[in-house]
Structure 1
Amino acid sequence: MKHSIRNFAGAASVLLLVTSVLLTGCAEEKSSAASSTNNGGLEVSELRYQGGIGSVTYPELAEDLGYLAPLKLKFIGSTISGPQDIQSVVTGDTDFGGAFNGAIVKLLAAKAPIKSVISYYGVDDNTWTGYYVLDGSPIKTAKDLIGKKIAVNTLGAHHEFVIKEYLHRAGLTTEEIDQVTLVVVPPVTSEQTLRANQIDVAALGGVLRDKALERGGIHPLFKDRDLFGNFSAGSYVLTNKFIKNNPKATRKFVEATAKAIEWARTTPRDEVVARFNKIINERGRKEDTATVKYWKSTGIAGKGGLIADKEFDNWINWLVKEGTIKEGELKAKDLFTNEFNPYLNEK
């Protein structure tokens, strides 16, 4: 599945328009979480969500550590796409989902009734994404990407924003950027696809990056951290309706996830990895735990996942520059809330 960077802008607009139509069509949010008198006073007893194969999310860690009880999680499937994950929240198929903040801004620009409540991934000295080429590749600069193919996990999210920022900063024209093709490739096969010369560049982060580097023969053309430094990159969202109708459950979810983030941040790495292995093995989804040993850090900038204005301002300004939204159309402070985070007063 191939898309030029510029062509995707149109496709994304159509997707967002469809989403907006769905929202105005009075579609009722379909929460499966039922009220319970034995639920510690919470309005709901469970939260539906999508997870990742061979990985552990912070809400899953929170549940395993006992922070989430009596609230429970209900796994409905896996996804590798942040935009798809938050679309599922909008349509009511899940109760929470997470995506790159730029993708969230795009959805909010389409009038989606959602709000970010806690950061869940980011970039730091140990956790970042590199855009890798084979050793000996003729690609040395941004200009060399014209006419080439770059593998990303999904469109309209972190990888695409970073790539476009890299090309813009290098001075490529709109016409030149149009000639750079993004190819959607599952992250677990990106390295193999690169080594088979089916693509020219592969976005590799975390455990997949480290496993690829162990095998050698590749090097980064650039890194997201080189462009933006350390920052929280993505957030979990809830619908405004869910927050309004379930304030206690919302607070419980955010508090538990925040505590799990801090547990992972302050606990010795070996203990975190062991806990992740335990969770994956006990949930019985027939997953490989080999990649867990490469976990290094949360990457999250704010304590307990606190969200900073700049983590949305960056992408609002970027989308204004791209012409996707108008200046002043969105303000960062309206797109997220730290209200439910127990570390708010410690920031």
Structure 2
Amino acid sequence: MLNTHIPLIPQRADPFIYKHSDGYYYFTASVPEYDGIELRRAKTLAGLAQADTRMVWLKPDQGSYSDLIWAPEIHFNQGAWYVYFAAAPSREIKDELFQHRMYAIRCDADNPVTADWTFEGQIDTGIDSFCLDATTFEHQGELYYLWAQKGPGIRGNSNLYIARMSDPLTLKDEPVMLTKPELDWETRGFWVNEGPAVIKGHGRVFISYSASATDENYCVGLLYADENADLMDPASWTKLPKPVFQTNAEMKMFGPGHNSFTQSEEGEDVLVYHARNYTEIEGDPLWDPNRHTFTKILNWDKDGLPVFGKPGQA
């Protein structure tokens, strides 16, 4: 039974949990210092809380990826481990945005927590602008890359884009935009669509994503497409008009978002996300370390749509 109102791991934002074929759960997230990539693993979800951690990669002192290491995700693609993450050359804001680009590290060992990792360089999308929050998924024999990026001539911080990959480090398509911030709940504080995550079920492919500023306005939206549709065609995707997961003030769960999906030991779908327990943030929410990792069971309704429920409640 998951403790839905108690953090699984405190002070870990943008959480990502991957259940591998070796029976282990692998966890990574943004650390409050934004200075590197931390990994841990355990045989159970609950065990991640006490698992030993290791910083498998630290940012260099200078250069294009030497600051603000954000939203790492660990994936096992085509026989090797990859962590995809975003990094900036500094904390300077230009044109109202940070200067993040997306990068990857690789490990070929069985246990990526204790082994060495190799920096593989930048993931080039063909668009030279602020970008972050990359995830990958396989579908019908294709490996896809899904991420958030500032779109040329489009208002806001980021839209969601998709492309197929020729290998785990290289895109083989021109990016296709799937959604941009346009609804009222996507444009509170900032115009943002970011943090995509993929889950499949009931004949569909679902993409959850986070919207608005990272304070109590942060929330989760949902796209879906038929599993046999062309995922590279924006017309294949339906965007729900309302958020599926948002602040639950009654439980003091504020700004839930940047989620991922995993499975329980019993095979149930599990929603992984971060949230804060208060709204009185001093200064920029980005520097407040108290976005904690939470988990809850993800249910499904009679129409085959995922039911996120409310943060802090089963």
> Which TM-score tier does this pair reach, normalised by the shorter chain?
under 0.3
> TM-score scaled by structure 2?
0.27
Structure with a larger share of its residues in strand = 2
Larger radius of gyration: 1
